[in-house]
Amino acid sequence: MKTKMPKIFRRFLLSYVIILLFPLITGFISYQVSIDVAKTSSIDTSKLILNKSKDILESRIMEIERFTRQIALEDFNQHLTARTEPNAIDIYSLRETSRFVSKYTHSNDFLEDFYIYLKNYDAVLKEGAVFFRVDHFYETYHYNDLSFDQWKKTILHGNYQGEILPLRSYTSNNKELSVITYLQSLPFNSLNQPLGTAVLTIDQRKINILLEGISKQYGGWAFITDKEGNPITIMGIKEKQAKEIVKKYTKGTDSINKVIENETMLLSIQSDLNGWNYVAGIPKEGLMEKAEAIKHITMVVTVSTLIIGMLLCLFLAYRDSSPIHNLIDVVREQIGPDATKHNNEFDFLHGNISNLISNNKLLKREITNHKDILKDSFIKSLLSGEFYDQEGMIERAEQLNVLFRGEYGYVCILRINGYGDMENKEIHNELSASRFLIKRTIKELEPSIVMTDLNIDKIVIIITCNSANKVNVSDELLNLLNELSSSVANSYRISISAYVGKSFQNFKEINRSYYEAKQALDSTFSEISKSEILRYQDIARETSMYYYPMDLELRLINAMKTGEAYDIKQIMAQIFQENFSNRELSPKIVEQLLEEIKSTLIKGCYSATSQGSGDSIKLVNRVLQVHLNLGLNHVWNEFELIADEYCSLVNKRKNESNDQAIKLIIEFLEDHYHDPDLSLYRISEKVGFPEKFVSQLFKEKLGEYVSDYIEKIRINKASELLLGTDMTIEEISSEVGYNSAHSFRRAFKRVLHVTPKAYRQAALGAQ
């Protein structure tokens, strides 16, 4: 396990898991609070329904009482005390009284089924009708558990003062009902001698409407009992169970809220008006319905958070620990047994990184020295003419922080006077110190000067400027040299001499200016002890040797190889200027110079790029036929023409080669455009040229980049498939070399300014 999960990984993982626990704990607390709130909300809603039912039922009962009192006030007592002789019965008055009383039923649906028994007439008044034969009324309206005699004795002749009989089975006009019965003896103060009875039956279903919210919303049950525990109405529970619940839980309690059997929440309230008990039972499932939804959502979110969180913890722990673990392995490989001396990985890294920091100064010093060596090597390469590419020189100079103010300037060699050929340890140390002081003084006078040591007693400096200031750079150099000579002489008693070559126009000519400065130095045959400044043009006419250094010859050959006609003319002009304008050469020396130049031209014509071709052989023969007797100017013009024609030949072959390369590239792209892995590297591998050359050549010849050309090929092929086939967009994108349909759609719209789907629809619509 330790091998699979390193200690550093386990520590990171534990940290992230601890952080993950905080939102999980917060979620659990929120879940518990939500459950309690949902449960309380369900209980409060059920209580609200019970209280509302109680209030409505009590108001209806009070309306019934007011109804019976109103009957007594409407001259009803005259019928109760009227004589019973047949001739004395006012049938019309009884019917009108019955109709008048029935008006009150429209204000309360509980009053819809009522009747009034008149004892002196032995008659029943009901809804505008008068029944003088009570047995006929009984046949239509009667209690199923009472006979006619029992009904007459207990209901009609009983003494009741606003009493309600419990729920019982009842037949009303051939309909089976369960009703409660409100009874009031008439008149109100009849005491033990009632003269009539008002009977009102209330259908249980009308009362159940008040309680059905509990059953529908929570799937529970409800019932109402009188103060003795007799059921007034029952919904969703049997009468026996209701009586047991009343007897066991609600007796003597105004309001309760407790859990009974089967985890059912029992809610009960008692009426202050008549002592009735309003009881509701909500099963756990109904009570927790909202809570279950919250529980389900919470569980899904918690499990998802836990899984995603653990995956994220593993990923972050691996991502953060892997670099440290790899770093520890690398350091352990380097220091070996020392790793066991530390208590943990952090102490191990801390100790070893501290050692690295302590050695950082030495490392920086070594890097600086190495950079100085590279910088000095670059300057020496410039002086020796090893660079042939102007852009390459500039890039290399920028990399090494070699600062040039421009491409125009002079090369100057400084020599420390007074030492001659003397060389011993003391002289060597003294010259090293002198060189250091001279270079420091130069940097103080002109920070932009580039310099390097030539040997033990010589320093080479390169002063540059841009072409706009080249008129003043010669005077600037002379002033600098005079000031430098005076400064080191006065401060350090050091005598120096300066030897200056002719100006260079670009970085390629730096080696020529250096060679000229060296010639000026070599022209001083005797050791001098006083300071002097000697320029190359001051000694040029005094020599009888021609000017044609080896580096200039190499530059000429390289220019012919690359077909640089302009560079060739510049070099030839420089050779002519130096030898025939600045020097006085004998005819014999001139003949030798011309033979050297002819040899150089022949070498260039037989370069590897054109060896054995008929055109190059013709040019060689022309070179061989050039003689001095034709005149110097004619000879020189012929040399330039031959070199120019050779450059044209080289460029022609280069163009042919480039055209062939472009042709190969296009053929390769046409054959492999459907390959999603097609890249510049594969193309360059096919044609045998570097990637940068291929990119530049393609842009130069066709005016666009390779990637744009590939995209156009693919989009053209895709447009053909869109119009000529029934392939889907996804199939076409894969067919023409795209990794996804999304990237294909973006490319298609970028090239044709329309989506593939719209392109196909427009083409079909045009047809």
Neighbouring C-beta atoms of residue 576, cutoff 10 Å: 16
Question: Cα–Cα distance between 704 and 700 in angstroms, integer?
Answer: 8
The pLDDT value recorded for residue 542 is 46
Q: What is the pLDDT of residues 472-530, one digit of tens each?
A: 788 888 888 999 999 988 888 888 999 998 888 888 788 888 888 888 887 764 445 56
Question: Which region, left, alpha or beta, applies to residue 189 given φ > 0 means left and ψ of -120 to 50 means alpha?
Answer: alpha
Mean pLDDT of 618-634: 77
Burial of 540 (0-12, 13-18, 19+ CB in 10 A): buried
Between these two residues, 81 and 163, which has the higher pLDDT value?
163
At residue 735, does pLDDT exceed 80? Answer: yes
In the chain, % of residues over pLDDT 70: 78
Cβ neighbours for 585, distance < 8 A, ≥ 6 positions apart:
544, 546, 579, 593
The pLDDT value recorded for residue 252 is 54
Q: Please identify which residue in the block is written with the tokens 């011309």.
A: 594
The pLDDT value recorded for residue 452 is 92
- Comparing CA positions, the residue from 236, 181, 194 lying closest to residue 212 is 236
Question: Cα–Cα distance between 348 and 338 in angstroms, integer?
Answer: 9
Query: What pLDDT band is residue 608 in, cutting at 50, 70 and 90?
Result: very low
DSSP 275: -
The pLDDT value recorded for residue 460 is 94
Q: Which amino acid is at 59?
A: S
At residue 174, does pLDDT exceed 80? Answer: yes
- Comparing CA positions, the residue from 198, 195, 160 lying closest to residue 83 is 195
Q: What is the pLDDT of residues 132-166, one digit of tens each?
A: 888 888 888 888 888 888 888 888 888 888 788 88
Helix (H) or strand (E) holding 527: none
91's tokens:
């049938």
The pLDDT value recorded for residue 339 is 46
Question: Cα–Cα distance between 157 and 160 in angstroms, integer?
Answer: 9
The pLDDT value recorded for residue 106 is 61
Between these two residues, 2 and 13, which has the higher pLDDT value?
13
Task: Give me the sign of the Cα torsion angle 356, 360, 362, 368.
Answer: positive
Mean pLDDT of 375-388: 80
User: Lowest-confidence range among 176-185, 219-228, 333-342?
Assistant: 333-342
Cβ neighbours for 636, distance < 8 A, ≥ 6 positions apart:
572, 576
Are the C-beta atoms of 110 and 60 separated by less than 8 Å?
yes
The pLDDT value recorded for residue 182 is 83
Cβ neighbours for 199, distance < 8 A, ≥ 6 positions apart:
114, 115, 116, 117, 155, 156, 181, 182, 183
The pLDDT value recorded for residue 456 is 85
User: Lowest-confidence range among 241-255, 340-354, 539-553?
Assistant: 340-354
Question: Cα–Cα distance between 489 and 568 in angstroms, integer?
Answer: 44
Mean pLDDT of 602-614: 65
Query: Across the chain, what does the average pLDDT equal?
Result: 77
Task: Give me the sign of the Cα torsion angle 316, 320, 321, 326.
Answer: positive
The helix-helix angle for 7-73 and 289-335 (nearest 10°) equals 170
For residue 659, CA distances in Å to 484, 651, 652 come to 57, 12, 10
Query: What pLDDT band is residue 758 in, cutting at 50, 70 and 90?
Result: confident
The pLDDT value recorded for residue 191 is 64
Mean pLDDT of 352-364: 60
346's tokens:
């952090």
For residue 256, CA distances in Å to 260, 266, 282, 675 come to 12, 8, 13, 80
At residue 548, does pLDDT exceed 50? Answer: yes
User: Lowest-confidence range among 236-250, 269-283, 495-509?
Assistant: 236-250
Question: Cα–Cα distance between 670 and 689 in angstroms, integer?
Answer: 19
The pLDDT value recorded for residue 462 is 92
Query: What pLDDT band is residue 607 in, cutting at 50, 70 and 90?
Result: low
Q: Which amino acid is at 198?
A: A
Ranked by mean pLDDT, which of 356-370, 484-498, 562-576 comes out on top?
A: 484-498
At residue 356, does pLDDT exceed 60? Answer: no
Q: What is the pLDDT of residues 422-474, one digit of tens each?
A: 667 888 888 888 889 999 999 998 888 899 998 888 999 999 887 667 777 88
Mean pLDDT of 356-379: 69
Q: What is the pLDDT of residues 304-336, one digit of tens each?
A: 887 888 888 788 877 777 777 666 665 665 555
